[in-house]
Amino acid sequence: MIRPHTLYKLLHEAFGNQHWWPMDKSYHRRHHTDPRFEVVVGAILTQNTAWPNVEKALDNLKQSRVLDVENLATMDREELCLLIKPSGFFNQKAERLGKLSAYLSTTYQGDLDVFFARDLHEIRAELLFLSGIGPETADSILLYAGNLPIFVVDAYTKRLCARLPLPIPLTYDEIQQYFEKNLQTHYPAHQLSSIYNELHALIVTLAKQHCRKKPVCEPCPLKMHCAFGP
Ligand code: SF4
């Protein structure tokens, strides 16, 4: 039976580095803003939508030069809705972005160094306390913006676990703990955030290229290890 560290090796051999999370560093250099905030915003905008729609919304925010904590915390809600409209569910997402930005502004003066320089579980609990931020969004922010070692579980991961199958119940926390426990025994602590980063991205690539709703198993790099495959 395949284990997470083997899964990582096979997927990495097949697809290589995925270079997540995309952020426009040159924009942030030019405007003296924090690129990690783009990841925070992207993690909320990507809820229930495809990434190209998120990119359009992020482009609108950049063109209006408001992709920073203070601007999103204070800007007119209707204006924000218009800018993020391409990402769908824009009323809901504008409210979430406004509240999170206001929280970061008032509690941490918008300083993400201060926000992320604490115990991972303390930050996670704080994020989960905010409305509209569930485990997947919170963990994406922690891993991809904060570079903190926590494995992100999404619908693709759950589907893959069910198909291989991996010997775990399919709750978010149990899948996360199973992956982390296995990977922690194979990699040193200082490498874990980059391993979690790559593995989640690799699973997304696998799900898009092969392990779709209707799977394309023949060219899949996991077919020799998968009970669901050919
Ligand atoms: S063999 Fe098929 S079902 Fe199994 S992981 Fe690959 S694409 Fe998914």
Q: How confident is the model at residue 105 (pLDDT cuts 50, 70, 90)?
A: very high
**Phi, psi for 96 (deg, rounded to 5):** -65, -45
Whether 211 is in the pocket of ligand 1, judged by its Cβ within 6 Å, is yes
Span 169-187, pLDDT tens digits: 779 999 999 999 999 999 9
Domains and CATH numbers, the chain: 4-19+151-225 (1.10.1670), 33-145 (1.10.340.30)
Confidence label for 72 from pLDDT (cuts 50, 70 and 90): very high
Nearest Cα neighbor of 16 from 201, 154, 207 is: 201
Q: Is 80 in the pocket of ligand 1 (CB under 6 A)?
A: no
CB of 83 closer than 8 Å to CB of 64: yes
Kindly report the pTM of this predicted structure: 0.96
Whole-number pLDDT of residue 230? 74
Q: Closest ligand 1 atom, CA of 221?
A: 6
Q: Would you state the pLDDT for residue 167? A: 78
Mean pLDDT of 86-104: 97
Q: Does the C-beta of 35 come closer than 6 Å to ligand 1? A: no
What single-letter DSSP state applies at residue 117?
S
